[in-house]
Structure 1
Amino acid sequence: MTATQERPTAPAPERRSGELNLREFVRWAWRQLTSMRIALILLLMLALAAVPGSLVPQERVDSLRAGQWKDAHETLTPIYEKLGLFNVYGSPWFAAIYILLVVSLIGCILPRSFVYLRGLRAQPPAAPRNLTRLPAHASYSTLEEPDVVLERARALLKSKRYRLRRDAEAGTVSAERGYLRELGNLIFHLAVLVVLVGFAAGTLFGFKGGVILVQGQPFSNNLTQYDDFVPGNLFDPDGMDPFSFTVDKFDVEWLPSGMARGFSADVDYTEEPGGPDQQYDLRVNHPLAIGGTELFLIGHGYAPVVTVRDGEGNIARSGPVPFLPSRPDLFSFGVIKAADAQPQQIGLEGVFFPTFANVNGDLVNLGGKAANPLLSLNVYTGDLGLDSGAGQSVYVLDKANLTPLPGKAGQPLRIDLVPGQTVQLPNGLGSVTFDKVVSWQRIQISSTPGKDVALLGVVLALLGLMGSLFIRSRRVWIRVRRDGQGTLVEIAALDRSGGADTDAVLSKLLNRLQEGRP
């Protein structure tokens, strides 16, 4: 082949019938995504995806409860962690549904808004040629002039707030009302988008944290004071409200069964350093709002005040220790660590009975009220592992380098104490004193900047839904023409929303026209 000869070009592949190229496929996918059917499906998927968030304890909401759930369900925990069920609202699959729904709503709202604006400026459609073909129609004859009847019809429909189109040459009047129905639909879909944006803003810029406070223990709103803290991706810690508070008093209303019916906390707080002291009765579902932050009372329990002395008589550990409830009757589990004890560190692990009873030699709990408290502990000595550099939960006792003290019959030593009682440990290791019982409160502290936006969206959604349900879109046509010595008047009505009684509307119009009054 010479340089001047052209290479033969391969024929372009033929497109099979129904095959889409890339541009056509993208256009088809966009139309599917922005259709109302897909938007409703995505909204339903979002609602279903949120169900696990209400059934499975969420780490962002209550990490303590989530940790207890994991300890009680060791088989399901790895599966749930892979699926992200402990952080549903922060999982990739929930975010994917969320984003697709937002895009779908935007794609639905914008085109419909332009169509609606064009419809507002447009005149009602002209009258059909044959009004008798419409489902609701009527006619009558009169001796009045056609222009007189048309003018009366126009005045009557205008008084009913119809938009009019008069065609004098054809002898017709076209009227339409109910344009706000479509506006209600648009407002409803826009409101859903506003709610989604509000929740997204709260998740990105807000935070949620929790702290367990013993009654009388002060708290200042900074990151070091929280037991758990989950910020949003765009959260700025410099913007935290500088408040502080203390739970001065805690009251519980008990049922005869021993369960708590309700509880409240008297909170003494200041909104800024050096500010005036204020009081608030903090109750369940009655949060305290300070600036842009809210405080919720979500739980309570008991903190035995225990003093541990070592073999030299020195106080190695003293103060309240929160025990975590494992049952609704506040039967609780806890750990006490005396790292300063000499010559060996002492660890105590056991349970707390608010109201204990001895039933056939077994200790049982009779209720949540601390009417007859008992602290039952196992004793360990050795290295608590606090110097290893690895973080250790205050609610977990690392027994790798600990030895349980032996008791009777070769069983681990267990000591049972009531308030005010002191038990001497064997081998001169020291003593344990159960001084008293105080309560602790679980306070959730959160900031959700988008909650007002979400509330606005909910209000708009209700208004839009009411408009779309109660506003009827209706068209009416009236044609007047000469018929022999008189005038024939034809009327037809069409309900575009469905379910309306167009016969009643037609009958009222017919009576008013025949009576000769607008």
Structure 2
Amino acid sequence: MADVASRPEGHVDGPPPDDGGGRRPGELGVRELGRWTWRQVTSMRTALVLLLLLALAAIPGSVIPQENVDSLEVSRWKADHPSLTPVYERLGLFSVYDSPWFSAIYILLMVSLVGCIVPRTFVYARALRAQPPATPRNLARLPDHTSYTTDLEPDAVLARAREVLGKRRYRLRVAEPDGPGADSVSAEKGFVREAGNLLFHVSVIVVLVGFAIGGLFGYQGGVIVLVNGQPFTNTAASYDDLDPGSLFGADDFDPFSFRVDDFDLEWLTEGSGAGTARKFEAQIAYRENPGDEEKSYDLRVNHPLSIGDTDVFLIGHGYAPVITVRDGNGDIAYSGPTVFLPTDPSFQSLGVVKAPSARPQQIGLEGILYPTYFFVDGNPTTQFPALGRPLISMLAWTGDLGLDSGVPQSVYVLDTETATPLEDADGKQVRVDLFEGETEQLPGGLGSVTFEGVQPWVRVQISQTPGKEIALLGVVLALIGLLGSLYVRPRRVWVRARRVDGDHGSGTMVEVALLDRSGGADLTTVLDDLVADLTSAPTAPAKETS
């Protein structure tokens, strides 16, 4: 009863009344929620956060091997990190730039920038047409101001102010002869600063559009080409790794072909950089179209070959030992250069040999190539990446190599799940160690392995990026906009002149004030120079009073 008695008169139990639309006061409807969400998405703060997120999201793509760049390296990474692999696959970290979450950030950034820039563009357009603001009532309250007296009439002072400010490219306010502001001049400049800000943000959109066009209509692929080997023909089947855009078709490949005739390589032999390639270049012969005249080109790092809309880059090199495998019948079951992939800067390389046609059993070999072999402290190693004393050391396998299962296999991986290690008389797995020119017989009359020599190979990256000119234009626009926003200072100037009478005679009091809208600028020198110009008229003998 006490609670009832203490309630104010007119109190009604229950929820507060709605507004007639089914909502209580303070609740957001669908329209209000949509407007609030749109304002948040299109704010400059959100655009900056999304830009930072896009930069952070691109980091895994440069740290973690990517399927569309080097699928073999991805396979090795998965083998070395079996516990992390399922997590990374679920997150799409092996193909970052094609993942849904990366695309979501990309699209949100585009929407945010467009929604932020369009309204600001209309505001800027209105500001361009607007006159400078009227002169404040009390110029002495501005941080940078001064005053002086002169014998000139106020109209002459204001005319001189218009002349001086006009030469300094200020925009002048047009005032009515007898209306407010008729005793002063109001001027403003620095509109390019806001244009620079807008241009910078527009350039970000241009860059993103350029990359989007390249990602949709372009492609990127990699292939290893043997020196003096088979020529490369630009078709999808010729690539080791291929990442085409969503709208790139098989008919969009430029119909060129090329072969590598020679490969020049220079190594540093002294100092801390010994063993590093100082330069390497491939001499290639190419045809832009079948039947065209053959042309030559020296392909070097950062000097790609452009054929039509396609660029060919030289990005790596390595060795392919020439290995011949004879089976138990003396027939050649495998012969030719075998690409071995470098695993470290010394070019110690891994590779496999598969001889499925060998009889009576299939033969498989997997092992290491040492370009310049040495035995140091009981361990084999290579002392220098150049070919000096090459040796191959490979473990031998026989039986089912999994080649008849119908499951595609990498040429760089030997499936040993169903194979049997080839053992010697002591029960140890046979290891074939061969210097160049040597042959070793396999036990059990299974055949022999010969190390014929070494043939170099080069890795090239071939790409078609139709939006690169647009992206370059965006970068140039960004630099121009950034320079404009950094170095252009938006300023306002007011000059007021009025007649005053004093004990020592009459004159014209001139007040001058400046305002730097960007903040932080020291306008003392600018103010002094402006006053000097105002008082420099031939008929304007002036004397400072304050």
Structure 1 residue 298, shift from structure 2 partner: 1.7
Q: What's the offset of the Cα at 1:412?
A: 0.6
Specify which of 204, 215, 235 is matched with residue 203 of structure 1: 215
Amino acid at match of 2:198: L
Matches within 5 A, 1:421-432: 421-432=438-449
Opposite residue 474 of structure 1, the aligned amino acid is: R
Indicate how the Cα distance of structure 1 residues 407 and 27 shifts in structure 2: closer, same or farther if over 3 A, else same: same
Contact 2:139 2:511 in 1 (8 A): yes
**Number of the residue aligned with 2:110:** 102
* 1:206-285 pair list within 5 angstroms: 206-217=218-229, 218-256=231-269, 257-285=274-302
Partner of 2:31: 23
1:370 to 372, 387, 397: 387
What letter matches 1:235 in structure 2?
A: F
Residue 55 of structure 1 aligns with an amino acid whose one-letter code is V
The reply on whether 1:190 has 2:202 as its aligned counterpart is yes
Match status 1:335 vs 2:352? yes
Assess, with a 3 A threshold, how the Cα gap between structure 1 residues 515 and 213 changes in structure 2: closer, same or farther: same
Q: Name the residue aligned to 2:528.
A: 507
Give the deviation of 1:198 after TM superposition: 0.7
Greater Cα offset, 109-118 or 423-432? 423-432
What TM-score results when the alignment is normalised by the length of structure 1? Answer: 0.94
Q: Work out whether residues 243 and 272 of structure 1, in 8 Å CA contact, stay in contact via their aligned partners in 2.
A: yes
Q: Superposition pairs for residues 110-509 of structure 1, below 5 Å?
A: 110-167=118-175, 168-169=177-178, 170-217=182-229, 218-256=231-269, 257-359=274-376, 361-484=378-501, 485-509=506-530
CA 176–12 in structure 1, closer or farther in 2 if over 3 Å, else same: closer
Which amino acid in 1 is paired with 2:254? D
> Secondary structure at 2:482's aligned position in 1?
helix
Amino acid at match of 2:94: F
**1:216–1:246 contact (8 Å) kept in structure 2:** yes
C-alpha distance after superposition, 1:168-223 (max 9, x if no partner): 33211111100111100000000011011111111111111111111122101011
Q: Tell me, what secondary structure is at the counterpart of 1:189? A: helix
Distance in 1, matches of 2:377 and 2:156, equals: 103
Deviations 1:344-390 (A, max 9, x none): 22111221111111235532222211100111122222222222211
Query: Residue 464 and residue 42 in structure 1: after superposition, are their counterparts in 2 closer, same or farther (change >3 A)?
Result: same
Residue of structure 1 aligned with 2:49, choices 41, 53, 62:
41
Q: How does 1:41-80 map to 2 (within 5 A)?
A: 41-80=49-88
Structure 1 counterpart SS, 2:347? coil
Tell me, what secondary structure is at the counterpart of 1:57?
A: coil
CA distances 1:58-109 after superposition (whole Å, capped 9, x unpaired)? 2222223333333333332222222222211111111111111111100111
Maintained 8 Å contact 1:355/1:367: yes
Letter in 2 for 1:299: G
Q: 1:67 to 1:147 in 2, by over 3 A?
A: same
Q: Which amino acid counterpart does residue 323 of structure 1 have in structure 2?
A: F
SS at match of 2:466: coil
Tell me how many residue pairs correspond in the alignment: 509
Q: Which amino acid aligns with 1:113?
A: T
**Which shows bigger deviation, 381-390 or 364-373?**
381-390
CA separation in 2, counterparts of 1:48 and 1:427?
A: 58
- Give 5+ residue unaligned stretches, structure 2: 1-15, 541-546
Cα distance in structure 2, aligned partners of 1:209 and 1:85: 19
Residue type at the aligned position of 2:534 = L
Map Cα deviations across residues 386-444 of structure 1 (whole Å, 9 max, x no partner): 22211111112122332222124211111111111111222222221111101111111
SS in 2 for 1:398: coil
Shift of residue 16, structure 1, vs aligned partner: 5.0
Listed one character per residue, the Cα deviations across residues 266-317 of structure 1 (whole Å, up to 9, x for unaligned) are 1211211122222222222222221211112222111111111112221111
Distance 1:236 1:349 in 2: 37
SS in 2 for 1:409: coil
1:6 aligns with none
Residues in 1 aligned to 2:397 and 2:454: alpha-carbon distance in whole angstroms: 23
Alignment correspondent of 2:9: none
Q: Secondary structure at the match of 2:384?
A: coil
C-alpha root-mean-square deviation of aligned residues, in Å? 1.8
Return the alpha-carbon distance in structure 1 between the equivalents of residues 193 and 471 of structure 2: 23
Partner residue, 2:91: 83
Which consecutive residues of structure 1, in runs of 5 or more, have no partner in the other structure?
Answer: 1-9
Report the alpha carbon displacement of residue 11 of structure 1 after superposing the two structures with TM.
Answer: 6.8
Q: Is the 8 A contact 1:407 1:414 kept in 2?
A: no
Kindly provide the amino acid, as one letter, of the partner of residue 78 in structure 2.
K
Give the 3-state SS of the residue equivalent to 1:445 in structure 2.
strand
Which amino acid in structure 2 is aligned with residue 231 of structure 1?
Answer: P
Instruction: Confirm or deny: 8 A CA contact 2:18 2:25 kept in the other structure.
Output: no
